[in-house]
Amino acid sequence: MTIREQLSQLPSVDECLKSPFGTGLLDLFPRKTVLRAVREVIDSRRKGILDGAASDVSVEAIAHDIESVVRKLSSYKLRPLINATGIVIHTNLGRSLLSEKALDHVISTARSYTNLEYEISTGRRGKRYSHIKDIIRELTGAEDSVVVNNNAAAVLLCLDTFARGREVIVSRGELVEIGGSFRIPEVMKASGAILREVGTTNKTHPADYENALCGDTALLLKVHQSNYRVIGFTEEVPLERLAKIGKDYRIPVVADLGSGSMINLAQYGVTGEPSVQEVVRTGADIVTFSGDKLLGGPQAGIIIGKEKLISVIQKNPMMRAMRIDKMTLASLEATFMQYLDEEKAIKEIPTVRMLTETADEIKTRAKKILSSLKKDISGQPGMEVVPDESQAGGGSLPEINFPTFAVSIRPSHISVNELEKRLRLGDPPVIGRIKDNALLLDARTVQDNEVKELARRVRAALTM
């Protein structure tokens, strides 16, 4: 057949849509989507013919391609995936998973009208933040609180409220960058506050802060170093001491905690990360932390502290632009309430559970993955459970490596990079990590209900 003859055999868009196959698709999917898929497939077949690739181009023959394009166009772009990296608070993978209780509360309050800003007892207008004020006070000991979109917004709001056009004293060792776009000097600039750096990269003394105080000083800011540590010949001013200086000179002290753990992690071998309660007890006037880091809740920025200062923050018109929605509020309320029973919180809040799980528990899950995997792959050598280390992530606990167990795979017939790619491109995608020419699937961040699916994905990737 000549190219011209082949082209004349291509069905028209209309023929495709009117065929039994086309009407079947139109019953299930939006017309726009089907139309786009039909056009795409016919176009690509036309190009194929022009490039000299002869093929059957009847409606029946291209139906399969059209259907897969329709399915691809109709699937969500934001998708669940299996995190086998071992990094618990993985910012690129969405940080914390919500607990079942948080999810339930979100669903029941999102499908219904609520008393979001309505006081049921009086029938009057109520306050959005009032619902979680008491539970936050009970858990942290802070007088008052307000919650915004994320911790970056929380810091910005504090600076804007108290230090616009005035000076904020920060140690040079704390001028950190957190995940690209959040850099303390830049946030400071954006808020209109003037950065007054004191001390050196490795050492800052109380006198450095005191000598920098002047009539223009609005705040003393302490920033959690988060994703890095200064080790060796170092000295920083503890928050207690800074709070004392603030009190003596009547300058508010703000602590940007970053992660903010509600429980004392020392009992789980994680030292050097004070709990939010301990930080409040230092006497800092305002403390801010993230909702979706160590707390294990939704994205949010939690601002807690002295009632007088919080009420000033609440009057800042910028609050309105940073306010949280009812779904965030519901999941925060549920998550905070879970901390009333710490033992249960550790088991039921996924982030906290994954961080406090023992190596033995993780080993058991890794073994389950491996045995499920081996079930019907015979003759696949190079699969074993190996000890390794995982990280908290999210700029939390950078110097701590958590002992973990992973399923290590050294494929015999494809490269390890090819296996990594097949798993990543699968459905659901599986994200692991490559180490020493093996693919490691860290069992710490694999959920129990994902074990079978994970094994299926790996089997499919190895045998496709």
Ligand X SMILES: *Cc1c(COP(=O)(O)O)cnc(C)c1O
Nearer to ligand X by Cβ, of 178 and 370: the residue is 178
292 by DSSP, 3-state: which? coil
Nearer to ligand X by Cβ, of 397 and 407: the residue is 397
Confirm if 96 and 300 have CB atoms less than 8 A apart.
no
Return the sign of the alpha-carbon dihedral for residues 417, 420, 423, 426: negative
Tell me the angle at which helices 359-374 and 451-463 cross, rounded to the nearest 10 degrees: 40
222 binds ligand X (CB under 6 A): no
Nearer to ligand X by Cβ, of 170 and 198: the residue is 170
* Closest CB 131 distance from ligand X, rounded Å: 21
Q: Name the percent of the chain in helix, strand, coil, to the closest 5.
A: 45, 15, 35
178 binds ligand X (CB under 6 A): yes
Among 99, 217, 282, 290, contact with ligand X (rule: CB under 6 A): 290
Nearer to ligand X by Cβ, of 174 and 450: the residue is 174
Binding segment toward ligand X, per CB under 6 A, in 128-136, 221-229, 235-243, 442-450: 221-229
Q: How many Cβ atoms sit within 10 Å of the Cβ of residue 26?
A: 16
Nearer to ligand X by Cβ, of 196 and 224: the residue is 224
CA distance 73 to 31: 12
Among 37, 38, 136, 223, contact with ligand X (rule: CB under 6 A): 223
Question: Interface residues for ligand X in 41-100 (CB under 6 A)?
Answer: none
Residue nearest to ligand X (CB): 258
* Closest CB 278 distance from ligand X, rounded Å: 16
Confirm if 225 and 176 have CB atoms less than 8 A apart.
yes
Count the residues in the chain. 464
274 binds ligand X (CB under 6 A): no
Nearer to ligand X by Cβ, of 63 and 178: the residue is 178
351 binds ligand X (CB under 6 A): no
Nearer to ligand X by Cβ, of 22 and 260: the residue is 260
Confirm if 291 and 258 have CB atoms less than 8 A apart.
no
Q: How far is CA 55 from CA 99, 100, 265, 324, in A?
A: 52, 52, 64, 56
182 binds ligand X (CB under 6 A): yes
Binding segment toward ligand X, per CB under 6 A, in 138-146, 222-230, 371-379, 422-430: 222-230
CA distance 127 to 390: 41
For ligand X (CB under 6 A), the number of binding residues is 15
395 binds ligand X (CB under 6 A): yes
Nearer to ligand X by Cβ, of 49 and 188: the residue is 188
Q: How many Cβ atoms sit within 10 Å of the Cβ of residue 262?
A: 23
Nearer to ligand X by Cβ, of 222 and 422: the residue is 222
CA distance 293 to 89: 6
Among 173, 199, 246, 258, contact with ligand X (rule: CB under 6 A): 258
Pairing mode of beta strands 167-171, 118-119:
unpaired
Binding segment toward ligand X, per CB under 6 A, in 8-16, 21-29, 56-64, 255-263: 255-263
CA distance 188 to 155: 9
Binding segment toward ligand X, per CB under 6 A, in 121-129, 138-146, 149-157, 448-456: 149-157
* Closest CB 398 distance from ligand X, rounded Å: 10
Residue 85: partners with Cβ closer than 8 Å, 6 or more residues away: 93, 390, 431, 432, 433, 442, 445
Among 105, 224, 353, 365, contact with ligand X (rule: CB under 6 A): 224
How far does CA 199 lie from the centroid of its chain?
33
What is the contact surface with ligand X in residues (CB under 6 A)?
150-152, 155, 178, 182, 223-224, 226, 256, 258-259, 290, 301, 395
